[in-house]
Structure formats: C-alpha cells, structure tokens
C-alpha cells in the first residue's frame, strides 16, 4: 500500500469512525439499532427490510415526497476519548411515496455540545489536528465566535471526501446563572458551545 493511498484511506476511515461507521456500513451496534428503526434505507441490503429497489425509468412525473430528519443522541462516543456533554448525529433526506424511488438527498451532520468554551475549543482543535495530519486540502474561515475549517480530499471519489468542522457559541442557549461575590451574588449570562461536523449533501 502506497503512502498516498494510506493517507487517503485513513482520512475516509477517520470520518467514518466519527459517524459511528455510518459510511462503511460497519455500524456501531447503537447506531445500527437506530437505523433499523428510523432510516432502514441506509442499512446493507441483507439486513434492510425497507422493501423496494431503484429502477431506471423515463421520468414522467416526480413522485410526491417528504423531507425528513432523524437524530441519534449519545453521551459516549465509541472511537473518541475527548470530553463532551452530549452528541447528536442528524440524518436528513427525502423519502418518495413510491417504492421504485430510493431515498435521496442525504445530508449528515454531527454535533457535540459543551457547557464551557474552553472544553469546546480544545475539542475543536483536537479534531482539526487529527484531520490536518492526513495532509488533505484545508480552508479556515472565522467570524466573531464562529470558526470553520473545511477539509477535502480531492483524490477521493467517496461522497464523504469533504467535511466542515465548526466551532460556535450557541446563542439560543443563553441563560442567567448566579455567581457568588464578596457582597453576595450577581447574575451573569452564559452560553453552551457547539462543535459541528457536516458532510455536504449528496444524491
């Protein structure tokens, strides 16, 4: 195995592990149970009971469809030792009301929530450090409390050859907490922080 193919496969394998084996279909047991119940179209054919298959016909009329989203919540990650309060894998896609049309337009993102900015940013830096080690293309953008790093492996033909890693303050989590002072207490505003990893939409 060449050095380039090793780096390519390592990048893909790391992304796959971040998402509990979702892309290789070597699913972690907890995610597997979730997919069996909510998104069976992402299961290997031999264990999927979703029925139907995609057949190429001349397109006369697009079937009616629904855009749905399911969230897999976890508090421990099987492949990461980094600290976080809660994690969520969101899977959004289109379901057609015709068994001859496969589910499509899948979009995957992974959220990690934190109660402190320090812990969240350390997590963000650690994920970035690992992804940077694969020597793929990288682009960084920043705006106030928002930072995004985009990684892409141009040599890979996988649909998950690109990932966006974002660090941000969750403004919707704003709340007041009491803080002791020498004269009593005072109220301060605090926020949760989020590290989001997003795989671009595919069809």
Q: Is the pLDDT of residue 50 over 70?
A: no
pLDDT digits (tens, 9 = 90+) for 123-170: 999 999 999 999 899 999 988 778 999 999 888 888 888 999 999 998
Residue 105 to residue 149: CA distance in whole angstroms: 23
Neighbours of 108 (CB within 10 A): 23
According to the 3-state scheme, what is the secondary structure of the chain?
A: CCHHHHHHHHHHHHHHHHCCCCCCCCCCHHHHHHHHHHCHHHCCCCCCCCCCCCCCCCCCCCCCEEEEEEEEEECCCCCCCCCCCEEEEEEEEEEECCCCCCCEEEEEEEEEEECCHHHHHHHHHHHHHHHHCCCCEEEEEEECCEEEEEEECCCCCCCCCEEEEEEEEEEEEEEEEEEEECCEEEEEEEEEEEEEEEECCCC
Please give the residue that has the higher pLDDT: either 77 or 66: 77
Give the pLDDT score at 103. Answer: 64
Q: Is the pLDDT of residue 111 over 90?
A: yes
* 142 burial via Cβ count (<10 Å: 0-12, 13-18, 19+): exposed
> Tokens representing 186?
């005072």
Q: Which of 41-55, 101-115, 117-131, 179-193 has the lowest mean pLDDT?
A: 41-55
pLDDT digits (tens, 9 = 90+) for 13-38: 999 999 999 988 888 998 999 999 88
Give the confidence band of 61 by pLDDT, cuts at 50, 70, 90: low
pLDDT, average across residues 75-89: 93
* 64 burial via Cβ count (<10 Å: 0-12, 13-18, 19+): exposed
Q: Tell me the sheet residues that pair with 163.
A: 151
Residue 94 to residue 107: CA distance in whole angstroms: 10
Among the listed residues 120, 34, 22, the one whose alpha carbon sits nearest the alpha carbon of residue 74: 34
């Amino acid at each position: 195995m060449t050095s380039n193919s090793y780096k390519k496969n390592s990048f893909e394998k790391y992304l796959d592990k971040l998402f509990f084996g979702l892309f290789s279909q070597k699913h972690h047991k907890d995610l597997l149970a979730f997919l069996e119940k909510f998104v069976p179209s992402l299961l290997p054919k031999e264990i999927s009971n979703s029925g139907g298959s995609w057949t190429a016909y001349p397109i006369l009329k697009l079937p009616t469809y629904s855009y749905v989203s399911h969230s897999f919540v976890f508090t421990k990650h099987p492949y990461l030792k980094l600290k976080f309060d809660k994690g969520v894998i969101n899977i959004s896609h289109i379901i057609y009301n015709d068994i001859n049309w496969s589910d499509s337009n899948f979009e995957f993102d992974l959220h990690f929530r934190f109660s402190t900015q320090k812990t969240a940013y350390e997590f963000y830096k650690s994920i970035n450090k690992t992804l940077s080690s694969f020597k793929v293309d990288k682009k960084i953008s920043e705006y106030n409390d928002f930072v995004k790093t985009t990684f892409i492996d141009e040599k890979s033909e996988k649909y998950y050859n690109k990932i966006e890693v974002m660090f941000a303050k969750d403004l919707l989590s704003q709340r007041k907490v009491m803080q002791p002072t020498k004269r009593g207490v005072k109220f301060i505003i605090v926020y949760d922080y989020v590290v989001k990893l997003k795989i671009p939409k595919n069809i």
